[in-house]
Copies of this chain bind each other. A is one copy, B any other.
């Protein structure tokens, strides 16, 4: 999905929620749509500013909250750092964080997903959501 199309789908999601598309939000949606990493609120704010669209940090947080409520972005809360955000288009995946560089990589493993569901079921629960993060170091 290209950047503009993704930004459009963010706009639709917000409109669906009865939220207005303002200059600030439009700019922020494009910054988010273009992000290939997993930026935090401050980084998104900086990128929007850099792109010439002044947006206050408060608005960044408010817009992120609205997008998250609509389920079009995901909030990632890794250990000991500010929350990061990513578009929620694709399929579910988990994260691997390089403790040396801070780089985040995504991965999926069907077997792990299945095992999680089984474990929960055995204990009498169903999974609402889960969080699996591998903090890793490059092998030498």
Beyond A105-B123, A131-B135: 4 further Cβ-contacts under 8 Å? Answer: A119-B134, A129-B135, A130-B132, A130-B135
Inter-chain contact A111/B115, CB cutoff 8 Å: yes
> Of B96, B111, B132, which one neighbours A123 at CB under 8 angstroms?
B96
Inter-chain contact B112/A125, CB cutoff 8 Å: no
Q: A130-B133, A133-B131 are in contact. Are A124 and B112 (CB under 8 A)?
A: no
A119 to chain B minimum Cβ distance, whole angstroms, is: 6
A40 to chain B minimum Cβ distance, whole angstroms, is: 16
Name the B residues within 8 Å of A121 (CB-CB).
139
Number of copies: 2
Name 24 A/B residue pairs within 8 A (Cβ), A-sorted: A77-B77, A77-B79, A77-B80, A79-B131, A96-B119, A96-B120, A96-B125, A98-B125, A107-B123, A109-B119, A111-B115, A115-B115, A119-B134, A120-B136, A125-B137, A126-B137, A127-B135, A128-B136, A128-B137, A129-B135, A130-B132, A130-B134, A131-B132, A131-B135
